[in-house]
Structure 1
Amino acid sequence: MKTKIFILAAMSFSMVGFAQKTEIKAAEKALKGGDAASAKSSLEAAAGSISGADAKLQAQYYYLRGKVYTDLAKKGDDTAFETAISSFQKADEVEKSSGKVKYGKLITQELSALAGEMVNSAVEDNKDKKFKEAGEKLYMSYKLSPRDTIYLYYAASSAVNGGNYEQALTYYNELKEVGYDGGGIEYKATNVATGEQEVMDKVQRDLMVKSGTYKDPVDEKAPSKKAEIVKNMALIYTQLGQDDKALNAYKEARASNPKDVNLILNEANLHYKLGDKEKFKALMAEAATVAPDNPDLHYNIGVINMEQGNLEEAREAYRRALEINPGYTNAQLNLSTTYVNEGNGLIDEMNALGNSRADIARYDELKQQKDDLFQEGANVLEEALKTNPDNQGILTQLKNIYGAMGDNENFMRLKKLLGE
């Protein structure tokens, strides 16, 4: 009786193994026929008992599963990429554990090709503004090919573009940990099908050009991206309200790139946000020495000085901005405003005077100073109108100045120009 039970068990085990082989063969046949969906169904039928199969059959199963899901991914199923990768890796693990390697080189080739497929898919995702998906695919590509740290860099960029800041920080921190620089030579070629220029490693680029699918190979020297990475991390920390971490990131970035004007400006803006206007002012002045021909720098220096009541310093900054860019409308308006503000500052003193002869004399003196300042403000804008005669902001501010001066003739002239 015991012997019969043993034979039944053996036969049952044999039947299960036979069923697995049948399903795997059916999956192979379906895949060869281009029917990945049917191949997937056949493999799912064998999945429940595959862990009890021998190493050879398990390796065959997982390798085939990797190919099936690769085919599904190529046909648009983005969720299939991860399953394809894990399947190939499982096949490799099973073979190495058993000591019998059949698919080793094939698995390496499949994973390498899969990394390329995911990069291409990520490019399309970025074009379609599917930044989260693009970042995840680029990160998986990097994990498959860790030497290609450029994929991790692009994964972080996609995460930033999609507003996935926490994920971007994870990628940027990983870039820092592996010492990514991003400098050196970038090997580029133009994809004949899309017309887009793409970056590849040199061997791949040369092979693609030779095949005719790419053209116009270019070798370009790429600057280090370390400062950019730390800057982006600082911007993300700022976005997340982690200002202390942002300041530390700027400090680190500027230590190796003290003349990077964008780093200086971003740090300055953070200090401004935190209410440290003196530090903002100092950094803006530093930036102006690094990039003396940048009109925006001088304009912003003017703004902060004007806010702090340093009108002469503000005027100097606005004039410098206008020397560089004579048509800088905001600089013209603000330069005019410095004179108006100074003139308005005299009104309180005028109103506080009494009716004595001395007070009347002082009133007349202050009024003349006020009118002279208003006239200076008007002169700035009259000059601006010569090159920008239809600017509504300039016309409106000039009209208001003449109205405050009691210059009815010019006031009516400006009203007419404004179409009022």
Structure 2
Amino acid sequence: MRTKILILAAMSFTMIGFSQKNEIKAAEKALKGGDAGGAKTALEAAAGAISGEDAKVQAQYHYLRGRIYADLARKGDDSAFETAISSFQKAKEVEESSGKAKYSPLIAQEMSTLAGDIVNSAIEDNKNEKYKQAGEKLYMSYKLSPRDTNYLYFAASSAVNGGEYEQALTYYNELKEVGYDGGGIEYKATNVATGEVETMEKVQRDLMVKSGTYKDPVDDKAPSKKAEIVKNMALIYTQLGQDDKALEAYKSARAENPKDVTLILNEANLHYKLGDKDKFKELMAEAATVAPDNPDLHYNIGVINMEQDNIEEARVAYRRALEINPGYTNAQLNLSTTYINEGNGLIDEMNTLGNSRADIARYDELKKQKDDLFQEGADVLEEALKTNPDNQAILTQLKNIYGAMGDNENFMRIKKLLGE
């Protein structure tokens, strides 16, 4: 009786083995026929007992599972990408343990194709502003092919675009750890069908040009992205309120790129935010030295000097901004305001004077100084009107100046220009 039971048990085990193989064959047939969903269902029936099969069957199962989920992913199931990857990796592990390599060469090819599919899907996500998903897919592609560090760089960029700042920091820190530079040669060619210039691997580019689908190959030298990465990290730290880390990041970035005016300005703005206006002023002056023809720099130097009551320095900065850009409205308004503010400062002293002969003489002296300052402020704006006659801000400020001066003729003239 015991012998019968053992025989029956052996027969049962053999039947199960045949069952797994039949289900795998059914899944292969369905996949070959383009029915990835049916293939998935058929293969799932073999999942429960697959761990008891020999290495050959296990490798076949996991390899097929990878192909099925890769096909599902290509057809729009984003969640299938990770399953496809893990399945291919499991098949490879099984073969490495058994010392056989029937599927390993095929797996390498499948993984390479899958990496490209993931990148293409990420590109579509970016186009559709699904930045979080795009970043995750690009990072997945990088893990599949760690030599392609550009995928990690683009993953960080997508995360930033999607407001996933902490995730972006993780990617940026990983870029720093692997010593990513981002420089080198970019191989480009024009797509004949679309007319768009595209960047690709050199071998691929050359083959595309040879095939006639692309033309006008160009080899462009790409600059290092190290400074950009550290700058972005600093901006993210600032966004997250981690100002100390942001300052360290700027320090690191500027050590490599001391003449990068954007880095200087970003650091200056951070010091301004932290209330260190002297450091802000110092860095703005440095930026103006690096980029002397940038009107915004001189304007901002004027603003900070104005806030610190350094009126003459503010005027020099505003006038420099106007030399570079004669139509810089804010510089015109602020330059005019420096004269008005100085004139208003004299009014305070005028109001403290009494009726003595000396006080009356002093009053008349201060009034003339005040009127002269107001007139200078008006002259700045009258000059501005020559190139910008309809600017409402300029007209309004000019009307107020003439009103304060008691110049009724000019007051009414400007009022009419305002349509009042």
Q: Against the structure 1 CA distance between its residues 88 and 189, is the aligned structure 2 distance closer, same or farther, given a 3 Å change threshold?
A: farther
- SS of match in other structure, 1:217: strand
Deviation at 1:47, TM superposition (A): 1.4
Alpha-carbon displacement from aligned partner over 1:55-97 (angstroms, at most 9, x marks no partner):
1111111111111111111111111111111111111111111
Residue of structure 2 in register with 1:88 after alignment: 88
Q: CA deviation at 1:141?
A: 0.8
Post-superposition offset of 1:195: 4.8
Letter in structure 1 aligned against 2:53: A
Return the alpha-carbon distance in structure 1 between the equivalents of residues 57 and 194 of structure 2: 42
Q: Which amino acid aligns with 2:17?
A: G
Q: Deviations over 1:3-49 (max 9, x none)?
A: 22222222222222212111111111111111111111111121122
**How far apart, in 2, do the equivalents of 1:375 and 1:43 lie?**
89
Question: Partner residue of 1:299?
Answer: 299
Structure 1 CA distance, aligned partners of 2:211 and 2:47? 40
* Equivalence map 1:34-113=2 (5 Å): 34-113=34-113
- Alpha carbons of 1:296 and 1:348: their partners in 2 closer, same or farther (altered >3 Å)? same
Match of 1:318 in 2: 318
Q: In the TM superposition, what is the alpha-carbon distance from 1:415 to its structure 2 partner?
A: 1.2
The farther-off stretch of 14-23 and 157-166 is 14-23
Compared CA separation, residues 97 and 286, structure 1 to 2 (3 A): same
Look up the match of 1:338: 338
* Aligned-partner SS, 1:216: strand
Q: Quickly say closer, same or farther: Cα 1:193–1:120, change in 2 above 3 A.
A: farther
User: Could you say which residue in structure 2 is the equivalent of 1:255?
Assistant: 255
Paired amino acid for 1:181: D
2:142 is matched with which residue?
Answer: 142
1:382 Cα shift? Answer: 0.5
Whether 1:360 and 2:393 are equivalent positions in the alignment is no
Specify the SS of the correspondent of 1:390: coil
In 1: Cα distance, 2:358 partner to 2:51 partner? 106
3-state SS of paired residue (1:188): strand
Change beyond 3 A, Cα 1:215–1:247: same
Matched-pair identity in %: 87
Letter in 1 for 2:115: A
Q: Partner of 2:244 in structure 1?
A: 244
Q: Structure 1 stretch 230-239 or stretch 342-351: which is displaced more?
A: 342-351
Query: Which amino acid is the alignment partner of residue 344 of structure 2?
Result: N
What corresponds to 1:268 in structure 2?
268
Q: Deviations over 1:279-308 (max 9, x none)?
A: 000000000000000011001000100011
Q: Does 1:413 align with 2:413?
A: yes
Within 2, Cα distance between the matches of 1:97 and 1:30?
29
For residues 312 and 129 of structure 2, the distance between their equivalents in structure 1, rounded to whole angstroms, comes to 48
The aligned residue for residue 123 of structure 2 is: 123
Write out aligned runs for 1:151-300 (5 A). 151-192=151-192, 195-300=195-300
Distance in 2 between residues matched to 1:130 and 1:147, nearest whole Å: 25
Structure 2 portions without partners, runs of 5+: none
Describe the superposition over 1:315-340 as per-residue Cα deviations: whole angstroms up to 9, x where unpaired.
00010001001111111111111111
SS at match of 1:68: helix
| 1:228-258 deviation digits (Å, cap 9, x = unpaired) | 1001000000000000000000001111111
Local SS of the residue matching 1:341: helix
Question: In 2 relative to 1, CA 108–215 (structure 1 residues): closer, same or farther, beyond 3 Å?
Answer: farther
After TM superposition, give the deviation of residue 194 of structure 1 in Å.
5.3
CA 1:13–1:215 in structure 2 vs 1: closer, same or farther (change >3 Å)? farther
- Aligned letter for 2:88? F
SS of the counterpart of 1:49? Answer: helix
Aligned partners of 2:363, 2:292: CA distance in 1, in Å? 43
Q: Tell me how far apart the structure 2 counterparts of residues 75 and 52 of structure 1 sit (CA, whole Å).
A: 32
The one-letter code matched in structure 1 to 2:405 is M
Evaluate the alpha carbon distance shift between residue 211 and residue 14 of structure 1 in structure 2; reply closer, same or farther with a 3 A threshold.
Answer: farther
Return the alpha-carbon distance in structure 2 between the equivalents of residues 17 and 207 of structure 1: 47
Residues in 2 aligned to 1:215 and 1:9: alpha-carbon distance in whole angstroms = 68
Matched, 1:33 2:3: no
- SS of 2:198's equivalent in the other structure is strand
1:358 deviation in Å? 1.0
The AA in structure 2 aligned to 1:405 is M
1 CA distance for matches of 2:82 and 2:101?
23
Give the deviation of 1:199 after TM superposition: 2.6
Q: Which amino acid aligns with 2:308?
A: Q
What's the TM-score, normalizing by structure 1?
A: 0.97
* Counterpart amino acid of residue 45 in structure 1: A
1:125 positional shift? 1.0
2:271 counterpart letter in structure 1? H
Deviation of 1:207 (Å): 2.7
Paired residues in the alignment total 420
Letter in 2 for 1:113: T
Alpha-carbon deviation of 1:363?
1.1
Q: TM-score, normalised by structure 2?
A: 0.97
Q: Distance in 1 between matches of 2:74 and 2:415?
A: 66
The 1:414/1:213 distance shift into structure 2, 3 A limit, reads: same
Residue matched to 1:403: 403
Task: For 1:305 and 1:418, locate their aligned partners in 2 and report how far apart those are by CA, in whole Å.
Answer: 31
Cα RMSD between the aligned structures? 1.3
The runs of 5 or more residues in structure 1 that have no matched partner are none
